[in-house]
């Protein structure tokens, strides 16, 4: 199954540390999205790429967050100087155009 | 601003009975509406979408949804519930820029009892 894969699935870190998540989208998809989901809430949009271009960023994405998609394939989401409020599930999704998004299983971040 | 509301935190139905999970939306322009399902420890899975055309949309696993423009609703339905349908269901709307930037509701837990 060549679905969307995310790594790591779970990261536990201490406050102030940097963390990086990786997403490998479905290979033929040119759009890639990052969402964040906290317990009891629906996913919230963070940012998206079309090929290697980052086209939109949410106001939720503070300057401690940075996302890249250097060759239009995989993407990374880095969080610097983590805070306890960053604890959440980080979801990656991809699509080939408007409409259905294919989501990965997510990367759960716990900040102690 | 675009928004989606799912008024029920949880819906309980008996297996074999019809189910409805409610969703209302607020958008400017024509809405692109979606339903996704999330099983425990699994990623969100697409169920169905409404872009244009027939108000009754059919999707995966026997689910369907009815778009009602006058009531700004997009309720998810299934004629006969299965225990395996028990999961967390999310309604979502594209923010009308057709970018895939979805605004999700807070989710409704569906519990189907045997």
pLDDT in tens, A65-105: 999 999 889 999 999 999 999 999 999 999 987 778 999 99
Cβ neighbours, 10 Å, residue B45: 16
Distance of alpha carbon A19 from alpha carbon A104, whole angstroms: 18
The contacts of residue B55 (CB under 8 Å, 6+ apart) are B66, B67, B68, B69
How far CA B72 is from CA of A112, B25, B27, B60, B98, in Å, comes to: 42, 6, 9, 23, 19
Does pLDDT of B98 surpass 80?
no
| Residue B5 forms contact with A (CB below 8 Å) | no
For B51, phi then psi, to 5°, come to: -115, -55
| Residue B46 forms contact with A (CB below 8 Å) | yes
Q: What is the pLDDT of residues A40-60, one digit of tens each?
A: 899 999 999 999 999 989 988
Q: Is B46 close to A101, i.e. CB distance below 8 A?
A: yes
How far CA B94 is from CA of A43, A108, B25, B110, in Å, comes to: 13, 25, 11, 23
Does pLDDT of A1 surpass 60?
no
Local structure of B62: helix, strand or coil: helix
Does pLDDT of A38 surpass 70?
yes
What integer pLDDT is reported at residue B29 of this predicted model?
Answer: 80
Local structure of B50: helix, strand or coil: strand
Distance of alpha carbon A67 from alpha carbon A57, whole angstroms: 9
Do residues A90 and A77 touch, judged by C-beta distance below 8 A?
A: yes
Mean pLDDT of B54-82: 95
Which of chain A's residues have a Cβ under 8 Å away from the Cβ of B46? Answer: 100-102
Distance of alpha carbon A27 from alpha carbon A4, whole angstroms: 9
Mean pLDDT of B36-53: 90
What integer pLDDT is reported at residue B70 of this predicted model?
Answer: 93
Task: Output the six-digit token pair for A92.
Answer: 């990656």
Does pLDDT of B112 surpass 70?
yes
- Considering only CB atoms, B43 lies closest to which of A31, A42, A106, namely A106
Confidence of residue B27 (pLDDT cuts 50, 70, 90): confident
Strand arrangement, sheet containing A5-7: A5-7, A19-24, A75-79, A65-68
User: In angstroms, what separates the C-alpha of B69 from chain A's closest C-alpha?
Assistant: 19
Which of A23, A35, A42, A47 is the best residue to mutate to test the B interface, defined by the most B CB atoms within 10 Å of its own CB? A42
């Amino acid at each position: 199954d060549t679905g969307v894969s995310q790594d790591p699935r779970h990261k536990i870190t201490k406050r102030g540390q940097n963390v990086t998540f990786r997403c490998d989208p479905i290979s033929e998809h040119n759009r890639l999205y990052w969402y964040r989901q906290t317990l009891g809430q629906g996913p919230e949009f963070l940012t998206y790429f079309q090929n290697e271009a980052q086209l939109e960023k949410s106001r939720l994405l503070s300057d401690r967050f940075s996302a890249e998609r250097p060759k239009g394939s995989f993407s990374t989401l880095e969080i610097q100087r983590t805070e306890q409020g960053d604890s959440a599930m980080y979801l990656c999704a991809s699509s080939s155009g408007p409409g259905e998004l294919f989501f990965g299983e997510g990367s759960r971040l716990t900040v102690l | 601003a675009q928004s989606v509301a799912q008024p029920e935190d949880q819906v309980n139905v008996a297996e074999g009975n019809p189910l409805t999970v409610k969703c209302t939306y607020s958008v400017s322009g024509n809405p692109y509406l979606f339903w996704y399902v999330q099983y425990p420890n699994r990623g969100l899975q697409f169920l169905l979408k409404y872009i244009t055309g027939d108000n009754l949309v059919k999707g995966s696993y026997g689910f369907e949804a009815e778009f009602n423009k006058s009531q700004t609703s997009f309720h998810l339905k299934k004629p006969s519930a299965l225990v395996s349908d028990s999961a967390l269901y999310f309604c979502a709307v594209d923010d009308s820029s057709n970018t895939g930037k979805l605004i999700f509701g807070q989710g409704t837990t569906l519990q189907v009892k045997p």
